[in-house]
Amino acid sequence: MLNIINKWALNAQKLNSFELTKLDTDGLDILDKLNYFQKASFTSISNEERDLLKWAGIYIQRPRSDGYFMMRVKIPFGVMISTQARVLASISKDYGRDILDITTRQSIQFHWLRIEDIPSIQSKLASVNLSSVEACGDCPRNIIGNPLAGIDPHEILDTRKIQNEVYNFFQGNRDFSNLPRKFKVSISANIFDTGHAAINDLAFTPASKLIDNEIVQGFHVYVGGGLSAKPHLAKKLDIFLKPDEVLKVTIGVASLFRDFGYRQSRQHARLKFLVADWGAMKFKQELEKLVGPLLSGGDDLICGWNAGYFNGIHQQKQPGLHYFGLSVPLGRLSADNLKDLADITDKYGDGTIRITNSQNIILAGISDNRVMSFLHEPLLHVLTPFPETFKAHTISCTGKDFCNLAIVETKKYARQISQYLDNTLKLDTPIRIHITGCPNSCGQVQLADIGLRGAKSKKTSQTIEGFELQIGGVLGPEPQIGTSLKGFIPADIAHVVIEQLIRFYKDHRIDHESFNT
């Protein structure tokens, strides 16, 4: 981070050990070593280099000794085209044992990769303008947003130009490749909070303001959100932005994080801790010192939360065209699934495949007269627009299958619980279940109606896997972090306990009271 003068850098003894490494080596420098690692053995990679490989978008998967890697590929705003999807499918087939996981931040994850194959995989990604660079690491991560941008009847403006501008500015930009921790940005103009604003470091949400007797559509700005073990909801700044101001404010907020963010402890380094200490007013003042005066806030236009779900058939903004929300069980696709999606979007739709932060898929651009024939495509029996309720609304992180930090398995239990609930319960309203393998919360357990966070408990002399419960999380206009309940649920009876909880809700709710109320 030689390009950055940071108050912590002047006082090196206060830096955490990884920051000391980052003083000498920018994370992006690791990209130059990938060809060397290709020829050398896995064991030649030092611990320090293993940490820096995150900037290349790769982590060592569990168990570390086996020498396999996971790779995350950024899909900016969750929108890819069919040619990109075919390349992702071929990589999965050739190198990744036929697994593609959709993440809760609209990215794609491969598993089972070998270090010697990483340069070839990155070349294939680059050939279709995709990248894993900075999908992980202390840098701007995949920017999320409305996967329906440009075709959405519920967006107040088309954000695609702004999104591309911001993504292109930050991708691989060495002025921002050495931040105190990850930096998560969301840009959405959808009125149902498809960008999950409150859990991002920086979020732009739809707003309007009367300026010179004219209603102008633009954005409000939220900073300092994040989940993990210490969740914070983002704070609203008293700012209204015109669309062409989004990039400069993103640069300003990223600069404040880089220059004033905390680098003493990794656990205390996210922007949320700086925002909590400064407060919204001081943060706005410091931001204005960098970007100049900003207008005060206007009217919020977020009026609900769709939790990132689009299942079913919907009318697009463009008359005569439809988009289909397809359910991907637990966010896991095979290479053939993705290749088939590419084929049918080319055959019926607009050639795009959109991935959602609920780990599902949207295909768009299907005209009125082709809806019925589209519905008969064999793939729609696997990835259906009309899924069973619980299977459709269960989200799970990677868990113990591949993640070194996991305490418990997640996908296995998620499958078991959702299948059991679909077989035993009928509900007129969906209940969202999130399962996460450790407190880091990649499965966003704090947003769930019912969240299960992996934990262990000692029973007599045996340690058993299980979950702690968190209920009632919600985003949108009145976001709230789920409430933690006391107690431990052994994993093998979790399905029965959740069933009882839902039956209690069903029997005691007043009218159509939601689970969160």
Cite the active site residues: 72, 181-182, 437, 442-443
Give the shortest CB-294-to-ligand SF4 separation in angstroms: 35
> Quick check: 133 and 172 in contact, CB under 8 A?
yes
> Quick check: 149 and 155 in contact, CB under 8 A?
yes
Given 406, 417, 450, 452, the residue binding ligand SF4 (CB under 6 A): 406
> Quick check: 449 and 481 in contact, CB under 8 A?
no
Tell me which residues in 418-437 interact with ligand SF4 (CB under 6 A).
436-437
440 touches ligand SF4 by CB under 6 A: yes
Nearer to ligand SF4, 25 or 440 (CB): 440
405 touches ligand SF4 by CB under 6 A: yes
Report which residue type is found at 513: E
Given 387, 399, 451, 479, the residue binding ligand SF4 (CB under 6 A): 399
Three-state DSSP state, 194: coil
Residue 442-481 contact track with ligand SF4, rule CB under 6 A, x = bound: xx--------------------------------------
31 touches ligand SF4 by CB under 6 A: no
Question: What is the Cα–Cα distance from 72 to 61, expressed in whole angstroms?
Answer: 12
Residue nearest to ligand SF4 (CB): 437
Paired residues of 323 in beta bridges: 314
> Quick check: 263 and 8 in contact, CB under 8 A?
yes
Find the part of the chain contacting ligand SF4 (CB under 6 A) among 67-75, 102-110, 166-174, 403-411: 403-411
Give the shortest CB-345-to-ligand SF4 separation in angstroms: 29
Nearer to ligand SF4, 384 or 441 (CB): 441
Give the shortest CB-141-to-ligand SF4 separation in angstroms: 13
Find the part of the chain contacting ligand SF4 (CB under 6 A) among 11-19, 81-89, 151-159, 393-401: 393-401
441 touches ligand SF4 by CB under 6 A: yes
Tell me which residues in 164-203 interact with ligand SF4 (CB under 6 A).
none
Paired residues of 474 in beta bridges: 480
Q: How many residues bind ligand SF4 (CB under 6 A)?
A: 13
438 touches ligand SF4 by CB under 6 A: yes
DSSP labels, 148-191? TTTT-TTBSS--HHHHHHHHHHHTT-TTSSS-SS-B-EEE--BT
Question: What is the Cα–Cα distance from 110 to 234, expressed in whole angstroms?
Answer: 30
Nearer to ligand SF4, 200 or 441 (CB): 441
The candidate with the shortest Cα–Cα distance to 318, out of 120, 151, 197, is 151
Give the shortest CB-439-to-ligand SF4 separation in angstroms: 7
Paired residues of 217 in beta bridges: 208
Angle CA(336)–CA(342)–CA(347) in degrees, nearest 5?
A: 125
Give the shortest CB-398-to-ligand SF4 separation in angstroms: 4
The candidate with the shortest Cα–Cα distance to 198, out of 476, 515, 434, is 476
Give the shortest CB-318-to-ligand SF4 separation in angstroms: 38
Report which residue type is found at 261: G
Find the part of the chain contacting ligand SF4 (CB under 6 A) among 303-311, 375-383, 395-403, 474-482: 395-403
Q: How many Å separate Cα 410 from the centre of its chain?
A: 17
Question: What is the Cα–Cα distance from 448 to 433, expressed in whole angstroms?
Answer: 6
Residues that bind ligand SF4 (CB under 6 A): 397-399, 403, 405-406, 436-438, 440-443
